[in-house]
Amino acid sequence: MKENIPEFLQEILLNEYGEKLTNQIINGYTKNRPTTLRVNTSKVNIEDIKQTLKELKIIFKEVPWNETAIIIEDIKENEIKELDIYKNGEIYLQSLSSMIPPFVVNPKEGENILDMAAAPGGKTTQMANLSNNKAMITACEKNKIRAERLKYNLEKQGTSRVTVMLKDARKLDDFFSFDKILLDAPCSGSGTLNLNQTDIEKVFTKELVERSIKTQKELLKKAVKILKTNGELIYSTCSILKEENEKVVEEILKLGNVEIVPIDAEKFKDIPLLPVNIEGTICVCPNELYEGFFVAKLRKNL
């Protein structure tokens, strides 16, 4: 075991996943992942971006489950930011794992969709792309600085029909009603830890986990209230701890008016998955390409 992993986290991982998978997770924490990006199909054709990268002699790989995603193999993020395709908003730097929830949302033209914790806007703009900019998206962000960053990214990416609300989504009025809700909830970030960084024990604490769980439960309860009957709620975190994932979802299921909609794992081939307690949810194992990530899909039936 790595010395700089907080002891309480090691204990949780061993208890939830056993020694073999815990070692695999910790190994994933040591990886420096390549730069990954998503082509902004609102502005440019995927093949045009690939051609541009070839002309610039930038080595890249495609992603089997996501035709808009590209893995950059030979240059770093700061170099990508110097390219015109980045400055023009034709690409968006985004981790592969964080591209999964919008696919599970599967936004359609004309749908009324809420992104409950939207900044900096990666998933918001991806949902706009997937709906051909024809879904009506409300993007919530409670922090003013982060909300400004969200607005900047939305404008740069050329998204339309997105309304930004500077508001804590927990305090949204109950008269709101949405066809679909994406709750990419604030979390401990246990799926994204990097053991090559120092002072992890100061950043990743029991208090952070406990505070995250409280917020997650409050946001989920609000989401269920303002979701239309037969509407879909996608809950995701960049955590691999069951306390923030399955256990939070299980508590919401006890309300009796929501049910799990199984995610088709076949759609996400080649993604390393961890075992889950709720069939139909997915939990990504951190490795050299992917951050740890959890996604669940629920339907309101009453």
Q: Please report the beta strands in 129-218, taking only residues with DSSP state E, as ranges in sequence order.
A: 136-141, 162-166, 178-184
Find the domain containing 296 and state its range.
97-300
Catalytic amino acids? 238
Confirm whether 22 is domain-assigned: no
Confirm whether 7 is domain-assigned: no
What spatial distance separates the first Cα and last Cα of the chain, rounded to whole Å?
47
Are residues 296 and 191 part of one domain?
A: yes
Q: Looking at 61, 93, 125, which one is the last position of a domain?
A: 93
Are residues 193 and 89 part of one domain?
A: no
3-state secondary structure 266-286: HHHCCCCEECCCCCCCEEECC
Tokens of 122: 């990666």
Q: What pLDDT is stored for residue 184 in this prediction?
A: 98
Per-residue pLDDT tens digits for 9-66: 999 999 999 999 999 999 999 999 999 999 999 999 999 999 999 999 999 999 999 9
Are residues 219 and 76 part of one domain?
A: no
Confirm whether 112 is domain-assigned: yes
- Whole-number Å distance between alpha carbons of 140 and 67: 28
pLDDT band at 123 (very low <50, low <70, confident <90, very high): very high
Confirm whether 16 is domain-assigned: no
Q: What pLDDT is stored for residue 3 in this prediction?
A: 63
Q: Is the peptide bond before 120 cis (omega within 30 degrees of 0)?
A: yes
Per-residue pLDDT tens digits for 11-25: 999 999 999 999 999
Q: What pLDDT is stored for residue 265 in this prediction?
A: 86
Are residues 177 and 76 part of one domain?
A: no
Mean pLDDT confidence for 272-285? 97
220 contacts 282 by C-beta, under 8 angstroms: no
294 contacts 239 by C-beta, under 8 angstroms: yes
pLDDT at 293 over 90: yes
pLDDT band at 2 (very low <50, low <70, confident <90, very high): low
pLDDT band at 198 (very low <50, low <70, confident <90, very high): low
Q: What pLDDT is stored for residue 269 in this prediction?
A: 80
Angle (deg, nearest 10), helices 144-156 and 122-130: 30
CATH of residue 88's domain is 3.30.70.1170
Looking up tokens 């998204």 gives 159
pLDDT, mean over the chain: 96
Are residues 185 and 79 part of one domain?
A: no
